[in-house]
Structure 1
Amino acid sequence: MLRVLKIAAAVEAISICLLFLNLFTVHWPAVSSALGPTHGTAYLVVIVSALATAGATTRGKLLALVPAVGGYLALRNLSVDAR
């Protein structure tokens, strides 16, 4: 599950950056239509994988709920707890 969380966290962060870039520049509806569901799916995968990860604390699971960067926060919490 940790590998899934890493990939989903990256997709979530990259997709939100691209969504904001599109919003503040050309604002093409096709880009929003493609990236919006991608970001939403990645966000849900981050939450589910953080909940399913063995050894994740309650704080780590709650950090996964933060939009855009929750996956990275949960991963950071997992790495701190592993030390």
Structure 2
Amino acid sequence: MTPQRALHLIGTLELGTLILLLANLATIHHPSIAAALGPIHGLTYTATIIIAVLVRNGRHRIWLLSLIPGIGGLLAARATEPVDSKS
């Protein structure tokens, strides 16, 4: 698995856990759901930043994008993709 793919996967998990946390907050607001998903979201957010720092390839924009909660991991993964040059 490439680091870019890992960043995309972790970013997707981070977004998914955030959506579930917000859905829980907006609907039933069950404390056990928040207690289970909160740490998972925190870990995926931290992992997103760590992976972005490791794959930044000298570009600060990549890890700065990863600091945005929720979609930052996906934005950073997109920023790591090589730019196709049109010949």
Q: TM-score, normalised by structure 1?
A: 0.90
Unaligned runs of 5+ in 1: none
Unaligned runs of 5+ in 2: none
Whether the 8 Å CA contact 1:43–1:67 is kept in 2: the answer is yes
Whether the 8 Å CA contact 1:63–1:71 is kept in 2: the answer is yes
**Is the aligned partner of 1:32 residue 2:34?**
yes
2:42 partner amino acid: G
TM superposition shift of 1:3: 2.6
4+ aligned runs moved over 3 Å, structure 1? none
1:13 corresponds to which residue? 15
State the number of aligned residues: 81
Give the number of the structure whose alpha-carbon radius of gyration is greater: 2
**Percentage of matched positions with identical amino acids:** 36
Q: Which has the higher helix share?
A: 1
TM superposition shift of 1:60: 1.0
Task: Find the residue that maps to 1:66 and give its secondary structure.
Answer: coil
Q: TM-score, normalised by structure 2?
A: 0.86
Give the alignment partner of residue 48 of structure 1, picking from 27, 41, 50: 50
Q: Supply the distance in 2 between the matched residues of 1:32 and 1:22 (Cα, whole angstroms).
A: 7
1:42 partner amino acid: T
Q: Which one is further off, 14-23 or 57-66?
A: 57-66
2:63 corresponds to which residue? 61
Whether the 8 Å CA contact 2:7–2:52 is kept in 1: the answer is yes
Identify if the C-alpha distance between structure 1 residues 6 and 52 changes in structure 2 by more than 3 Å, giving closer, same or farther: same
